[in-house]
Amino acid sequence: MKADFYKENRRAFMEKVETGTLSVFMSGELLRKSADDDYPFYANRNFVYLTGIEQRDSILMLYKNAEGYKEILFILPSDMMAERWTGERIRPEIAAEISGIENIQYYDEWNMQLASMIQKEKVQTIYLDLDHKSDRRNWNSADWMKQYIETGYPQIEIRNALPILKKLRLIKKDCEIKALEHAEKITRDGIVAMMEHSKPGMYEYQYKAEYDYALAQHGVLEPGFTSIISAGKNNFCIHYYGYMGQAKAGDIVLNDVGVRWGHMVTDVSRGWPCDGKYTEKQKLLFECAYRTSQHMFDILKPGIPMKEVDLIIRKYNYEQLKEAGVCKSYEEIGKYMWHGGAHHIGFDVHDMVDVEGVLTQPGMVFCVDIGIYHEEWGIGFRLEDNCLITDSGCRNLSEDIPRTVEDIEAIMS
């Protein structure tokens, strides 16, 4: 991504906020794991979407006035001793080149600038990127900034910037699509490597090692999200991260993996027999999923209510399973389909977008994900691809990753 991408994202965001408002975004901070060990730093995705900067303890301030808007980026200053331990910090000129922001200041100046701006510009409203999941602890940088403002400036109204950013991130720009296309090629190498090395007796961690090694050959040192790689009965845990199971003769190996390239994340699932040859029952179920997937890529185009995509997948797959003699009535479909079939991808693997009341539009990218779980037969897998809505239809961005019985068996032969 070039600086123009981030500049356009900031401009689009500022168009959505009121004149006289200040917006503050935080990259995040290091989280302590134990003793003197920290978790690897992972920058807030909305901050990256607006700046391209992935360094901890960075702050973006955007102030909108009648003439336009002002922007300041705060970064950590140079520190020879700290950098000796943890690596070189980004310099102001590099931060400006990446982000397209001219006014670069150091992190320890942000609170003085905030006070000055509130007083000078008579700011009454501040937008923060507040994101919470009700079932998880999620205290982040925006939370302590909210607390700081509420304590020091109780007259300020705080609003949430997240709903605006969810709308902006829904439609992907050309550079984002190109990044996804490149990420799909690397994803293919990782999945094919697992297929080619697969054999009965192989452990899930060995499959993961093959996947990680293939990605590293492209300079991708960690996957786009925590890889789901399972075999046999472990396939019935939808988000499985154990990696200690062993693929036994006749088992299906399931992968649900992705690659991050240029901030964009793929999400592709395949299920294949560890010994390279589908049994009759495995083939029966896999081809139900494949026909459903093909049907979706045949019909998806602009103008379909996004909320109906899951339902279309579910109903069509039911018809396939019914024809195969697996289902007798639609009421039984929940026994075999355990999750939704379409979520958006982008800066996050489950991208932070707003699809409420939205029709499919060119530039949307979401998964077509058909999962079938037949516990009585011991067969669980999903066939998941990445769909780009185009002007007249759609395109399967992951179509080059083996996805038919014939192609998978040929790769594994």
CATH number at residue 49: 3.40.350.10
Q: Which residue has the tokens 């516990």?
A: 375
Examine the domain organization and report whether 164 and 214 are in the same domain: no
Which residues touch 279 (CB under 8 Å, ≥6 apart)?
250, 273
Question: Hey, what are 207's tokens?
Answer: 């499959």
User: Rounded to whole angstroms, how far apart are CA atoms 276 and 408?
Assistant: 8
Examine the domain organization and report whether 97 and 239 are in the same domain: no
Examine the domain organization and report whether 104 and 248 are in the same domain: no
The reported pLDDT for the residue numbered 238 is 97
The reported pLDDT for the residue numbered 140 is 82
Domain final residue pick, 149, 168, 187: 168
The answer to whether the CB of 51 falls within 8 A of the CB of 6 is: yes
- Least Cα distance to 70 among 31, 3, 109, 17 occurs for 17
Examine the domain organization and report whether 117 and 200 are in the same domain: no
Examine the domain organization and report whether 160 and 180 are in the same domain: no
Which residues touch 281 (CB under 8 Å, ≥6 apart)?
374, 377, 379
Query: What is the CATH classification number for the domain harbouring 255?
Result: 3.90.230.10
The reported pLDDT for the residue numbered 134 is 72
Which residues touch 72 (CB under 8 Å, ≥6 apart)?
60, 61, 101, 103, 104, 105, 113
Examine the domain organization and report whether 156 and 190 are in the same domain: no
Examine the domain organization and report whether 151 and 17 are in the same domain: yes
Domain final residue pick, 140, 168, 196: 168
- Least Cα distance to 28 among 144, 134, 147 occurs for 144
The reported pLDDT for the residue numbered 219 is 98
> Residues of the chain whose pLDDT is less than 50?
none
The reported pLDDT for the residue numbered 276 is 97
The reported pLDDT for the residue numbered 220 is 98
C-alpha distances out from residue 38 to 31, 32, 83, 89, 368, Å: 6, 4, 16, 17, 36
The reported pLDDT for the residue numbered 135 is 74
Range of the domain at 348: 174-412
Domain final residue pick, 148, 168, 188: 168
Examine the domain organization and report whether 233 and 103 are in the same domain: no
Q: Find the length of the chain.
A: 413
Examine the domain organization and report whether 270 and 397 are in the same domain: yes
Examine the domain organization and report whether 254 and 195 are in the same domain: yes
Specify the DSSP element, H or E, that contains 8: helix 3-16
